[in-house]
Amino acid sequence: MEQQIAHHPEVRAALVIGTHRFQTALLVELISPQILSTVERAEAIERIWPIIQEANQECPRHAKITKSHILFTSPDRPMGRSGKGTVQRQPTLDIYAREVDKLYADADKMSTSAPLDNSAPEMEIDINDSRSISRFINDANSQLVGSTTFQDEDDLFIRGMLDSLQALRLTRILKQTFAIRELEITTLYTNPSVKSLTEAIIRLSSVHESSKLSSSESRLQAINDSLVEYKTILDGIAHEDHKTESTDINGVNAASKEKVVILTGSTGALGSYILQTLLTSSTVSHIYCLNRTAGKEPQIKRSQAHGLRTEFPSNRVTFLHADLPQKYLGLEREIFAKIKDSTTHIIHNAWPVNFNIPLSTFYPNIKGVINLIGFASTAFHAPLLMFLSSLSSVSNFKGNVPETVINDIIASLPMGYSESKFIAGNLLAYAADKFPHVPISIARIGQIAGPVSTNGIWNKQEWFPSLVLSSIHLGIIPESLDSTDDSKVDWVPIDLIADILVELNFNARGDQNQHTNGAKVYHPVDPVLVPWNSLLPKIIESATHGKKNKLVPVPFVKWIEHVRKDAEDLHSKID
């Protein structure tokens, strides 16, 4: 959504915000930012609204951006950015924390705090009487827009509600009349007729009487709603999917046994190693790398940084700019058709690795999974589709996690990244039943370590290298990885896991023939858990090699205290 909105010619950057809020909001930085009056702000919203509406189409209804929840940056306070110019989410949210809070407070006041005006009809309402509720909505809306009574099936926005202000006023009237705090303006947008709005009010009243949804319940509801909505899309794909007789359901042509592989996200760390493995395979005739950037130059730069080969002959590798949530995966139609006729394997690796953004930000990525399923279900070779998931998608599962699909929506960690991986995995499992001719596999990946067979290094921005560097700076290192003394690790080197994933993908069809009960699930982790304290001496030795002072192991809590104090001292020096 953010990338799509940023394509608008007036928009420099966009951030979806609203984690732990009941409604998603949008922070927009214009190409030419300025102090906007109320009228200018409304005009700016109207100009960018069409592209926001397009982005909203990729999201479930509860995550759509509304006009009342759009905030613009000030010219003297641009979004926080890294040295490379990438927008940094948390620093930006810190800069605009006050404005964001005010945005939500103003929206809440508009719908709850302001006294009822003359637009509210005076009548007694029985919350259990749908006809009484419908009549009240009809009368209130008629007074707001100065029009005649609507039919219960009419869309209020088309027939009378001309702007978002009238929608806000009607929301306020309904919220105060029925004493339902959970009734938001999004309730109107998702229930635009008198009939559907009446039903929504009755539902919300029931929820309100039992108890207000906790943030945890809201989170689980969002996951469940997403699954329901996207499964409906898959049902539609299955309904339209009519396999032709020319489709090779057995996959790779028996005569050649050559593989044509789609790899998404090849420029990432893991993607670069997977590409390396594919290039060294004699059975792979061609690789299509679908990335957000075009050309091979970004790949050369990333592979070089990892100490990998940088020769990508055009007869073996094609780098394409793709946008997976879009039609034809964002490719030209002719190229899409060519790939569809030749692909035998798909490794879907592309996914934003950001643990701070909400689930709603990942909806385009989930839509990308849906599109890849549709692609595989109608492709000539019924390609094997492997999705690279995360163990965090099932980390809340009670007990040992089996290598099977987990349907319990409480299984994922409570963060957008994990929740999106959980949803994608369950949609793939659902698709495996809908499209039994397409072998589908899911690899839940844990912590990936640096390589062991190449000269590459572990990304310094990841948590473990950061921990070691911080420890060197402080002169102390945690003797455990949490508040307990039983820390264990099951890390897998990045080059080894790349080899494992490719092998699993290539052999998945054989597994599918043996197990016809849907998607295959793999946990490519080290089966031997290694105690952290057994690694500590080697870490200390390597980190302080050639240095006079050695790192001193301290309790985890004490190490955290030192990190916080050091950060506070640094901030005080900057101030």
Per-residue confidence (pLDDT) for residue 109, from 0 to 100: 56
What's the token pair of residue 70? 């759009």
Separation of alpha carbons 366 and 422, rounded Å: 10
- Structural domain includes residue 153: yes
Same domain, 156 and 186: yes
Q: According to the model, what pLDDT value does residue 34 have?
A: 84
CATH number of the CATH domain containing 127? 1.10.1200.10
With CA atoms as reference, report the closest residue to 2 among 80, 75, 46, 58: 58
| Whether residue 185 is found in the same domain as residue 313 | no
Q: 140 and 265, same structural domain?
A: no
What pLDDT digit, counting tens, does each position of 373-400 carry? 999 999 999 999 999 999 999 999 988 8
Q: Domain of 95: which CATH number?
A: 3.30.300
Q: Is the pLDDT of residue 243 over 50?
A: no
Q: Please check the confidence at residue 484 and state whether its pLDDT lies above 70.
A: no
More confident residue, 562 or 547: 562
pLDDT in tens, 107-129: 655 544 444 444 455 556 777 78
17 within domain boundaries: yes
- Confidence grade of residue 193 (pLDDT, cut at 50, 70, 90): confident
Residue where a domain terminates, one of 75, 96, 112? 112
Let me know if residue 570 belongs to a domain: no
The count of C-alpha atoms lying within 13 angstroms of the C-alpha of 508, restricted to the half-sphere facing its C-beta, is 31
> Distance between CA atoms of 146 and 137, rounded to whole angstroms?
14
The DSSP string of 252-267 is: S-TTT--EEEEEE-TT
Using a cut of 0.95, tell me whether the model's pTM lies above it. Answer: no
Domain co-membership, 296 together with 443: yes
Count of domains forming the chain: 3
Q: Are residues 49 and 137 in the same domain?
A: no
C-alpha dist (Å) from residue 171 to 39, 113, 127, 176: 22, 12, 16, 9
Residue 567 inside a domain? The answer is no
Same domain, 64 and 123: no
How far apart are alpha carbons 386 and 431 in whole angstroms?
A: 12
How much of the chain, in percent, has pLDDT values that exceed 70? 83
Tokens 């303006």 locate to: 185
Same domain, 431 and 314: yes
Helix ranges restricted to H, 313-457:
333-342, 363-378, 416-434
Tens-place pLDDT, residues 67-92:
888 999 998 899 998 877 888 888 99
On whether both 21 and 131 belong to a single domain, the answer is no
Helix (H) or strand (E) holding 11: strand 11-17
CA dist., res. 357 & res. 373, Å (int): 25
125 and 67, same structural domain?
no
**Cα 380 off chain centre by:** 30
The pLDDT score that the predictor gives to residue 500 is 96
Q: How many CA atoms lie within 13 A of 385 on its CB side?
A: 29
Full domain range(s) for residue 359: 237-458+492-522
How many helices (H) and strands (E) would you count in the chain?
A: 19, 16
The better pLDDT of the pair 518, 334 is held by 334
Q: Identify whether residues 284 and 428 lie together within a single domain.
A: yes
Which whole number is the average pLDDT over 243-272? 71
Q: Give the least confident one: 70-84, 196-210, 301-315, 530-544.
A: 196-210
pLDDT, tens digit, for every residue of 145-159?
A: 666 556 777 777 655
